[in-house]
Structure 1
Amino acid sequence: MSLKSFLRKHLKIIVTIAVTIVAILCRKYISYFSLIDEVKVENKSVPIFSPDQLKKYNGIDESNLYLAVMGVIFDVTQSEKHYGKGAPYNYFVGKDGSRGFVTGKFKDESEEKDHILDLTCNELLTMLDWRKTFREKYPAVGLLAGRYYDKYGKDTNYLKVLKERVQKCKEDKDRAKKEEAIYPPCNISWSEDEGSKVWCTKSSGGVIRNWVGVPRQLFTPGDEKPRCVCIQLDKGNSSQLKKYDGCPDTSEECLVQDT
């Protein structure tokens, strides 16, 4: 039997076997990558480090320099001038000091040094930017068992809550951007002679548009104080908006009574 005839006769079986192999490989690697939130680990399996094991990768006990960001371990040996002994960021080596990337506290050796759930949304998103920077610059070599991952490399409840919080922060940020397009911030200044002044232009608040608008106070639920925004008169009927006392309805600038 020729090869061509063999392939034609057994084509269905060959295709079935091939599809099965691909499915197994895909399932393996999808599971593998999901463990590290799309951070590529160089090895075929994901090594899980204990805190004591990670501590040894300080450039002395072990020659390489490892640090963890939100539970993902990166090899930063190539940047020894920044992370080696006596270098500015040596604090982060051999541990997960994620909190320090935002707080700037490089002496925190408490159990809270990798705790970030209590940070503000802006701080959490900054933390994600840091992780993205490490992901793009350094090879990820494993996961740290502890706050973010368990000893099997699976998400802890802490990480699950963090992911939900981050998702909400991103949604709030997107919502704020959309709101800012509708209600751009005012320009604000203060002088001894006039006190506080708010005014609108076609670029106030850094939002470029083809209309100027008039200043109004926008009261947002949950915020202690209103903020000044520019509105279009024909679209300013929201109950959350309030005029400034003593300021004409159509004026593009208002003097604000300081309280």
Structure 2
Amino acid sequence: MPLPGGRGLLLGLAAAAAAVMAARLMGWWSPRAGFRLFIPEELARYRGGPGDPGLYLALLGRVYDVSSGRRHYEPGAHYSCFAGRDASRAFVTGDYSEAGLVDDVSDLSFSEMLTLQNWLSFYENNYEFAGRVIGRFYGEDGLPTPELTQVEAMITKGLEANKQELKEKQKFPPCNAEWSAARGGRFWCSQTSGGVSRDWTGVPRKLYKPGAKEPHCVCVRTTGPPSDQAPDNPTHRNHGDLDHPSLEEYAGCPPLAMTCSVPL
């Protein structure tokens, strides 16, 4: 059951993708004409076995007809445990026990909520929407409950955090790194290190983040104005981002070297 240029361009695509996903997410919660409401006991009959009326599963209260993927969900198949119920939590945790096959996602993290959003997109794009389950996420009127509204808010925040993370990754791309028990560590920068294509190479630096126990190696631009200043600002020192307060040089590494070795 598989899941489905330059700095300015990447940031623009990230922002557009976040906006599109957020808009689609809002649309998913909106009423649809003629949708069906299920109580959990009724949904439990849709496990795809002999005499069952169909093969359905639910995710975040939304019911999908997965008959076209019968080989994944029918009795005896690997994902048969998802059929006939809302087991939203297990889509993230991988806990296929009865205790784990539940719809309670209240303690999941932002990133885990984004995983659920990805699964929701998968089912929206690949299977037919069949209705909603009355319970945790939808009321007897078929409208979203406060708990579903909270899930939606967490997904939105997760999308915003991802956008911010991408923006920071463009500013401070991760270094290339290797480790040898005989020689220690080596960090170096290239125009594609960290999976970020750019028109500069940069030099390795330690980046300290609030709340992180250890710094991690990033590549830092060495010329031009800091990233938070306009290119035509006449007051900058032409140091790129080298003066950023959260950065630290590697001991024993020349300040403008593109490769740094950290001995044992």
* Range into which the TM-score falls when normalised by the shorter chain: 0.7 to 0.9
Deviation at 1:111, TM superposition (A): 7.4
1:177 to 2:166 alignment = yes
Segments of 5+ residues of structure 1 without an aligned counterpart are: 1-32
Deviation at 1:76, TM superposition (A): 0.9
Name the structure 2 match of 1:248: 254
Distance 1:115 1:189 in 2: 41
Structure 2 residue matching 1:217: 3-state secondary structure: strand
Structure with larger Rg: 1
Indicate conservation of the 8 Å contact 1:35/1:155, yes or no.
no
The CA deviation string for residues 140-189 of structure 1, in whole angstroms up to 9 with x for no partner, is 11111122112212221211111111111111100111111111100010
1:229 to 2:218 alignment = yes
1:100 to 2:106 alignment = no
Name the structure 2 match of 1:30: none
1:54 to 2:60 alignment = no
- Counterparts in 2 of 1:72 and 1:103: CA distance versus 1, 3 Å: same
Distance 1:138 1:186 in 2: 41
Name the structure 2 match of 1:37: 29
Name the structure 1 match of 2:71: 81
Segments of 5+ residues of structure 2 without an aligned counterpart are: 1-24, 223-238
Report % sequence identity. Answer: 36
What is the aligned counterpart of 1:209 among 189, 198, 206? 198
- Superposition TM-score, scaled by structure 1 size: 0.79
The CA deviation string for residues 72-129 of structure 1, in whole angstroms up to 9 with x for no partner, is 000112222211111111100010111222222222x237722234333333222211
Q: Which moved more, 1:186-195 or 1:120-129?
A: 120-129
Distance 1:73 1:175 in 2: 33
TM-align CA RMSD: 2.1
Deviation at 1:224, TM superposition (A): 2.4
Deviation at 1:37, TM superposition (A): 2.6
Name the structure 1 match of 2:58: 68
1:127 to 2:116 alignment = yes
Distance 2:151 2:202 in 1: 39
Structure 1 residue matching 2:58: 3-state secondary structure: strand
Aligned length: 222
- Superposition TM-score, scaled by structure 2 size: 0.77
Matches within 5 A, 1:148-163: 148-163=137-152
Deviation at 1:138, TM superposition (A): 1.0
Name the structure 1 match of 2:20: none
